[in-house]
Structure 1
Amino acid sequence: MKKSRPWIIWLVVAATIAYILAPLSQRDTRGGFAMQKLGRLPVLLNGRIKPLDTVARNSLLIIHGKQTLAIEHGELTPIEWLAEVMMKSGEADRRKIFVVRSLETRAALGRSPETAKSSSILAAFGLLPDPNKYWSFLELTPHLQEIEQQAELAQKVEAQLRSPFQRDIIKLFERLTLYHRLENSLEVAGTEDFKAQVDDLLNNIRPAPVPMNSGITAEALQSLDFLSETGYFFPIPPVPPNDDALQWRKMGESVLQFITAGNMHPAVPAWATLASAYAAHDPATFNTAVESYSSWLQQHFPVRVWKAKVESVFNQLQPFYSAMVIYVLIFILACASWLVWPQTLGRYAFVLLVVTFVVHSVGLITRMYLEGRPPVTNLYSSAVFIGWGAVLLGIFLERFFRNGIGSATAAIIGFITLLIAHHLSMDGDTMEMMRAVLDTNGWLATHVVMVTLGYASTFLAGFLALTYIVRGAFTPSLDRETAKSLSRMVYGIVCFATLFSFVGTILGGIWADQSWGRFWGWDPKENGAALIVLWNAIILHARWGGLVRQRGLMVMAVFGNVVTSWSWFGVNMLGIGLHSYGFMDSAFPWLIAFGLSQVAFMLIGVLPPHLWRSQLEATRSTPVREMANAPA
């Protein structure tokens, strides 16, 4: 192939950027309603002010397992679905959104369909199986009491010991509870004209310290109490100029405050107008109300509005998902460069890797800005950061060696870690508030970042070693020069991993001493961090002492993947220690499978050299006196 022209590379870059920015061209204007502006309105939930769009996306993801809802003619975006839930609950209740994962698959293992049916969640409540396993709130409503009773019984069982039925019934109950709270966040579900009710209060209520003396009916007062207790998020900001996040109120609380103290908050009639206009299918009034309320918020809370807009755009772009997809393309191009057109495809892969790394970095920096925290605050962000660190190191490797290996390994680690992050996001908001003990000083932030970079470096060394084994055992492409380059890469990255892991572990001890009064407590997570340091040190000493050569170094580096994955994920599942984040039944089999796969590659790595395909090719093409120099 002829030497690549610069304009082709720029065309590839332009196409990549166009793919990343494409979601911004989408507009949520179903029925003429300005849904995008609605989604950018800030609300308070779980201690963090966020756009309504984030609430919608996370809620739909938890309830439905997806961030879109397929309907008869197209699909609903998250904010369109949430608007319907809050303002047209009658229609929303008919949407089949609840995922019910029954045990009917046991029929495939030799049980009759009737037996499988009797063991399913649906059969427990007299419901017939649906081929799509999706059910509406209206269909499940008659069985809510029994579902709650079964969930309470299941919650008494330890997480590790719960049956599939018990896990599913708990999840179903949690989803139903979330849905119920969402549809009672602005108005009591089923309200026909919330604005008329608010106007009636403004015109006829005489505020009094004792609500019953204000002229409000007992039924209306009970409804407001219900809204105060049941509402999911806090849509009413504090009274300007107060900007305290703790002063946000639920709708029911704010109306009750007017009844007892007077001065109706301007956000209450604004939300009421939105709800009534949407229910009456009046887009003109709805859009005017959204614009008016947005302007009021911009005037009094400009920083909150700006951050809500940034987060809404961040949600729309989904930079980590885009990066995950492009990493696959980069991996394919880099691997193809080992077979044909090495310079051209290798250059395309590297340029795409740099562009995708920028996207990955922008997503990471945006999260840091929105949270006001270091890059690693929970398990989700650790997955994002591990991928980012591995890709950064891979870029340096590729820039130095220019053989496609740095691009390929960086891309595959970037893809896997972002895929892990994607599945971790299924639990809801990934920008959760940090616990007080974790939000203390700079020692912790530095410790977590350094340890996570240690994870990234160790994984990169392990995947470089996997490249050596796969290319050596299954392809003829592992020549002497490539083997030497891979050996140098692995050795250098292990040195980095040892440094990052050791410094990070020491910093963690300093923070623990300041926070808990002890430097080391033999906590499983602490032991895991020490294992990574020790294993990387063992690799270096084995290499320095001549105990292992190229293949031995690679096999030991692959085992580093096992050590790191256990230290990163495994110790969280033990259910003990200060770093236990809960047993994740869905992740445990994958962790075991990953560990076994690495052991399998290690066994391949220690096979006699003559069984490797690269060694066979070297035997056919290399004189006997040169065979001793072939990769060993």
Structure 2
Amino acid sequence: MVASMAAAEIPVWSDDVLDLFASIPVQESGRIKPLDTVARFYLLRLNGKRSLRVENDGKSQSRSSLEWFLDCLFYPEVTDTYRCFSVDSYEAVTAAGIEAHGKKRDRYSYHELQPGLDRLMSLAQKAAELPPETQTFVDTQIITLAGNVLAYESLTHFLDFAKIRYETENNAILTSVFNDRETVRTSDILEKIPKHMETLIEQSHQLSDEERQPLSQGINQLFSLLDHAVLNAGLFAFLAPDEREENVWLSPADIMEQSFESTASMDGYIEGLRIFEAMTDSLTSPSAFYDTLRNLHRVLISRATARNEYKHINLEIHYYRANYLFFSQWLFLTSFLLIAITWLRKKSDGWSLLMNFSLLPPIALLAISITLRCIIRERPPVTTLYETILFSTLIAALLGFALELVSRNRISMSLGALFGLLGLFFAWRYEAREGTDTMPAVIAVLDTNFWLAIHVTTIIIGYGAGLFTAALGHVSVFLRILRLKQHRPSFFNDLGRITYGVFSFCLVFTLIGTVLGGIWAAQSWGRFWGWDPKENGALLIVLWALAILHARRGGYLRHDGIALSAIVLGMIVVFAWWGVNALGVGLHSYGFTSGIWGVLLAFWAVETAIILAGAVTMWFYRDKKRLSAP
């Protein structure tokens, strides 16, 4: 079936219909993407997940993001009962006078929220006027919930332009043009009224003020009706422009406005709106709906293909449906558990080597995912904060695999698997928290593939190496604190040499990346160095690494000192990576993440405590060793 339902029942969409809708191209936030991607992130924003559980005949069933999206467009009276609004604190609901569920964190339907929407919007407006630093957790929840409700309302009313029928008898303009019809559609008005109004305006100059008044009232009334239809019709741009030099696609709202303002022919665009109208009319006939959808699909794709802007749509659909990152994360977990088993048995080079190669499948899936993102966007691997997580995770996992081949100490591969697991978990949480497309259009300051490839990518390699260095330092410190392997000084010597090597690797890539960034800045802004916070963060990494490596070469630090210094390096990397963005100042002020300061401060506090505990333990160990010496 295409789409069938009885009153108040859950719509049923056939696989053929879902596939056609999924591959419709849309321009949103400056990027051309499949409608499937739009649906995924729209639901993720509201629900915190890309799927939804709904009640149907007393049974719970799952709705995909695209099914939910189509339900919203064509059957909003049904989706009003779906519990798709995720609320982290019931206080945000009760503050608006809405009856809360029993749990602190739960999901609510639009129908449940509706009685308190006016109060909710008022509270959200007041909370938004407060400085961010004074907003409470409940304030942010109220603002978020209000924004999600508005987003939902915009989605459910997007097709109003295609559903509305205008009565001609109550409007002088419509009556004069469509005197043989009782109702007309939006496309009918756009096709005939703009040309007719030119004639009316010319004729109005010959009329008296009294004769002109009904004409003016009819025009004002008509535009008032169209304003209602156009209110939410600008949400998505489906129609690629005819002009090759024009990069902005047209939404139904754009077409409605330009029909009255532009001198160019709008017939092709109006025909597209007419197909949307036919689709809403054919909901009760599955076969007619499917035929109309196929026609719409053909028209939209042909316009995009003519501009060579459809070539990556199917690949992006595959990327999200294949879910490479999900499977990579679980394979990293499997690899970590297998590696953990090796710690329970006597060391065997053959078994350890086999377990190390268990890292390759999840690394391969992660690399494939990053590669597909590069192809889809036609960009280097790192352009957003989200992509820095993926790429640094890949670097850390590769370092763990490569170092294990050299050291055979089972630590490197353990850290590689752990980094892969935690990195992808963090990426998943970041994506869910932000609720926005992770492949957005590149901001103007970064819009150069050459410098993105050689500067940003190099810096992120340095970040990944710096974090892996810090992880090695943690291993050494925890072993000292727990008094493990104290009878094997060679173990700590080997671990110290590995840490020193990765320290050097981090320095090389961070230094090169920083210098390349300066060259980019000189070309873009006319200066090599401007003491920008992001530049200073990268410089701190370089200076710290240089100082520690010189201290090691000079004999001032040995393996224990290198381990503690490596943890400090990790703290600096996190500041340069995330802390600088949270400052909100400087040329590199992009990629903000709300609420990050609390997490960062907690991280630095824990790391400081580990360093102090490690330093005290190492001092006592060294003092005891000196006293016990003959």
Counterpart for residue 364 of structure 1: 370
- CA drift of 1:49 comes to 0.5
Counterpart for residue 522 of structure 1: 531
Distance in structure 2 (CA, Å) of the matches to 1:153 and 1:603: 45
Counterpart for residue 251 of structure 2: 250
Q: How does 1:175-574 map to 2 (within 5 A)?
A: 175-188=148-161, 201-202=187-188, 206=192, 208-209=194-195, 222=224, 224-231=226-233, 233-238=235-240, 242=243, 246-254=247-255, 261=265, 263-265=267-269, 266-277=271-282, 279-280=283-284, 282-302=285-305, 303-340=308-345, 342-343=348-349, 346-426=352-432, 427=434, 428-440=436-448, 442-474=450-482, 476=484, 479-574=488-583
Contact 1:186 1:251 in 2 (8 A): no
Q: Do residues 594 (structure 1) and 603 (structure 2) align? A: yes
Distance in structure 2 (CA, Å) of the matches to 1:504 and 1:200: 55
Moved more, 522-531 or 594-603: 594-603
Distance in structure 1 (CA, Å) of the matches to 2:598 and 2:575: 12
Residue 429 of structure 1 aligns to a residue whose secondary structure is: coil
Residue 502 of structure 1 aligns to a residue whose secondary structure is: helix
Counterpart for residue 46 of structure 2: 63
Q: How does 1:164-175 map to 2 (within 5 A)?
A: 164-175=137-148
Q: How does 1:126-141 map to 2 (within 5 A)?
A: 126-132=97-103, 133-141=106-114
Q: Deviations over 1:310-360 (max 9, x none)?
A: 111111122223222222222222232122264465344322311211111
Q: Deviations over 1:467-508 (max 9, x none)?
A: 233345437457444333322211111111111111111111
- Structure 1 596/139 Cα, relative in aligned 2: closer, same or farther at 3 Å? same
Counterpart for residue 154 of structure 1: 127
Amino acid at match of 2:344: L
Distance in structure 2 (CA, Å) of the matches to 1:236 and 1:298: 10
Counterpart for residue 84 of structure 1: 71
Contact 1:473 1:611 in 2 (8 A): no
Distance in structure 2 (CA, Å) of the matches to 1:429 and 1:142: 31
Contact 1:181 1:232 in 2 (8 A): no
Q: How does 1:70-149 map to 2 (within 5 A)?
A: 70-72=53-55, 73-102=60-89, 120-132=91-103, 133-149=106-122
Contact 1:447 1:507 in 2 (8 A): yes
- Structure 1 352/227 Cα, relative in aligned 2: closer, same or farther at 3 Å? farther
TM-score (norm 2): 0.81
TM-score (norm 1): 0.81
Amino acid at match of 1:528: G
Contact 1:238 1:244 in 2 (8 A): no
- Structure 1 252/299 Cα, relative in aligned 2: closer, same or farther at 3 Å? closer
Moved more, 317-326 or 181-190: 181-190
RMSD of aligned Cα (Å): 3.4
Contact 1:206 1:259 in 2 (8 A): no
- CA drift of 1:585 comes to 4.5
Distance in structure 2 (CA, Å) of the matches to 1:198 and 1:407: 69
Residue 309 of structure 2 aligns to a residue whose secondary structure is: helix
Amino acid at match of 1:66: K
- Structure 1 421/313 Cα, relative in aligned 2: closer, same or farther at 3 Å? same
Amino acid at match of 1:124: A
Contact 2:34 2:316 in 1 (8 A): yes
Contact 2:24 2:35 in 1 (8 A): yes
Amino acid at match of 1:424: Y
Amino acid at match of 1:69: L
Amino acid at match of 2:93: L
Residue 381 of structure 2 aligns to a residue whose secondary structure is: coil
Counterpart for residue 8 of structure 1: none
Moved more, 88-97 or 494-503: 88-97
Contact 1:43 1:233 in 2 (8 A): no
Contact 1:178 1:232 in 2 (8 A): no
- Structure 1 127/203 Cα, relative in aligned 2: closer, same or farther at 3 Å? closer
- Structure 1 244/144 Cα, relative in aligned 2: closer, same or farther at 3 Å? farther
Contact 2:467 2:573 in 1 (8 A): yes
Instruction: Report the count of equivalent residues.
Output: 570
Moved more, 490-499 or 130-139: 130-139
- CA drift of 1:134 comes to 2.2
- CA drift of 1:62 comes to 0.9
Moved more, 338-347 or 571-580: 338-347
- Structure 1 128/212 Cα, relative in aligned 2: closer, same or farther at 3 Å? farther
- Structure 1 594/51 Cα, relative in aligned 2: closer, same or farther at 3 Å? same
Contact 2:161 2:229 in 1 (8 A): yes
User: What percent identity do the matched residue pairs reach?
Assistant: 28
Greater CA radius of gyration, 1 or 2? 2
- Structure 1 284/489 Cα, relative in aligned 2: closer, same or farther at 3 Å? farther
Distance in structure 2 (CA, Å) of the matches to 1:440 and 1:32: 40
- CA drift of 1:60 comes to 0.7
- Structure 1 589/190 Cα, relative in aligned 2: closer, same or farther at 3 Å? farther
Contact 2:380 2:452 in 1 (8 A): no
- Structure 1 187/596 Cα, relative in aligned 2: closer, same or farther at 3 Å? same
Unaligned residue ranges in structure 2 (runs of 5+):
1-10, 167-181, 201-214
Counterpart for residue 207 of structure 2: none
Contact 1:155 1:170 in 2 (8 A): yes
Residue 301 of structure 1 aligns to a residue whose secondary structure is: helix
Distance in structure 2 (CA, Å) of the matches to 1:521 and 1:204: 53
Contact 1:398 1:406 in 2 (8 A): yes
- Structure 1 336/81 Cα, relative in aligned 2: closer, same or farther at 3 Å? same
- CA drift of 1:569 comes to 0.9
Distance in structure 1 (CA, Å) of the matches to 2:289 and 2:489: 70
Contact 1:572 1:582 in 2 (8 A): yes
